[in-house]
Structure 1
Amino acid sequence: MSGSFAEASRAKRLKTATQSTHERLDTAIMACQPFASRERYALFLSVQHRFHRDVDPLYRSAALGTLLPDLVRRRRLGLVEQDLCDLATAADLPGLTPEPTIDDQFDVPTALGWIYVAEGSNLGASFLLKQAAKLGLSETFGARHLAAAPDGRGLHWRRFVAAFDAVPLSHLEEEEAIAGARAAFTRVQALVSELLASSAAAPAEDVDG
């Protein structure tokens, strides 16, 4: 481990360790044209729903809540479900059976890695929200889960990072957190392949007409 890497904050170390995995996921998502039409966006919402359903038990965990004090208020599963209702889309598409990916007996370091990915996705959601707006969606209709927190994306993230970095972890436990973050990115990649990439991209709608 290089000196500069060791001196970085835990959040920055996780970012560095998962950068290539994260970039592959971002590329895969945009290659599937999730904002080409509302139908494509609905499939993207199903990806979001599966992932946030996976991590929701972590957000409701009392043990994790003592480490990350405002954790339960950061839950976005309900917002994703409202978005699905806005679009009159079933949360689970026919023929697709969700598989649980987080065991009830999760260990704290691994859980922290998953939460890091979930929280980071909201930090970078401003671009996605702008793309959703082209489909007539907004923070109050269809794209609620992409909206910034009331305190702003930057401050919301910094508050999370401060608590996240303060959790006492051994070197081995930090490696487990990194593995957890990679597993979370891999989970979303699998959902993208299952729900988005498996469907041919529809032609872009003329949202101005």
Structure 2
Amino acid sequence: MSMSARRQFLRERTGPIHQRLDECVGTFSDIPAYLRYIRGMLGFRRPIETQLASTRLPAQFGNFTPNYLADALERDLAALGASPAATARSEAQPMSNLCADRLLGTLYVLEGSTLGARLLVRRAAALGLHAGNGAEHLQKQSSDLGNWNAFAALLDSAREVDDETMAQAALATFAHALDAFEKA
């Protein structure tokens, strides 16, 4: 799928903070580093997913449903003998105003992480982890690009969108993720 002008705009606007987040996530070359990654992901995703789950998506979103991972992340922690209660939570509030523009920016980050998960699932496999023993969320996230493709189509077709508001929401979401990983 070719990249639309809107996705290119978001990619360029968020590139520096996205790179900082990737560096913070690291390579998780051992189980303690992987647990830190899961805790960071859970601290990032749980508050946003909770808010999204109680938000009525705009009619223009059609049948699109975000990919929720927080429960799978908690199961992954439990499978590895770690307590979800010990997970650091980020204090950032990236979704204070849930207009369509902000939702699109936030979902750009959440759904876009599917693409990175395809690399991370291989890193987890190198540690002997798979869906049944600590990498369920990665398997769920990386096994099908359908949700990303549906979101990309929604993003590309959205009308009357303030691209700057959308970009600010994406930046805030990346900042929220970075905060969660730094606290993990």
Same fold (TM over 0.5): yes
Q: Give the partner amino acid of 2:13.
A: A
Residue 111 of structure 1: CA displacement? 2.2
Structure 2, gaps ≥5 residues long: none
Question: Given the alignment, which residue of 15, 18, 23 partners 1:22?
Answer: 18
Give the aligned partner of residue 165 of structure 2: 176
Q: 1:150 & 1:41 partners in 2: Cα distance?
A: 17
Give the aligned partner of residue 12 of structure 1: 8
**Superposition RMSD in Å:** 2.6
Give the aligned partner of residue 91 of structure 1: 84
Query: How far does the alpha carbon of each residue in 1:80-126 deviate from its partner, in whole angstroms, 9 at most, with x for none?
Result: 122122112122327x5653624565333122211110111112211
Question: Given the alignment, which residue of 63, 67, 72 partners 2:57?
Answer: 63
Q: Decide which structure has the larger Cα Rg and report it.
A: 1
Question: Hey, which bits of structure 1, 4+ residues long, moved more than 4 A?
Answer: 102-105, 148-151
Q: 1:98 & 1:65 partners in 2: Cα distance?
A: 30
Structure 1, gaps ≥5 residues long: 1-6, 196-209
3-state SS of paired residue (1:92): helix
| Contact 1:122–1:148 (Cα < 8 Å) also in 2 | no
Query: So what's the TM-score if we normalise by structure 1?
Result: 0.75
Query: Are positions 1:152 and 2:141 aligned together?
Result: no
Residue 163 of structure 1: CA displacement? 1.3
Q: 1:84 & 1:116 partners in 2: Cα distance?
A: 26
How many residue pairs get aligned? The number is 181
Query: Are positions 1:186 and 2:175 aligned together?
Result: yes
Query: How far does the alpha carbon of each residue in 1:107-153 deviate from its partner, in whole angstroms, 9 at most, with x for none?
Result: 33122211110111112211111111122111232111112559732
Q: 1:141 & 1:132 partners in 2: Cα distance?
A: 10
Which aligned pairs between 1:80-159 and structure 2 lie closer than 5 A?
Answer: 80-93=73-86, 96=88, 98-99=90-91, 101-102=93-94, 105-147=97-139, 152-153=144-145, 155-159=146-150
| Contact 2:69–2:137 (Cα < 8 Å) also in 1 | yes
Question: Given the alignment, which residue of 40, 59, 74 partners 1:47?
Answer: 40
Q: 1:22 & 1:36 partners in 2: Cα distance?
A: 20
Give the aligned partner of residue 156 of structure 2: 165
Query: How far does the alpha carbon of each residue in 1:25-71 deviate from its partner, in whole angstroms, 9 at most, with x for none?
Result: 112221xx5x2321221111111111111221225522247515231
Residue 165 of structure 1: CA displacement? 1.8
Q: Could you tell me the percent identity over the aligned residues?
A: 25
Give the aligned partner of residue 202 of structure 1: none
Q: 2:143 & 2:34 partners in 1: Cα distance?
A: 27
Q: 1:168 & 1:156 partners in 2: Cα distance?
A: 20
Give the aligned partner of residue 207 of structure 1: none
Q: Give the partner amino acid of 1:29.
A: V
| Contact 1:64–1:108 (Cα < 8 Å) also in 2 | yes
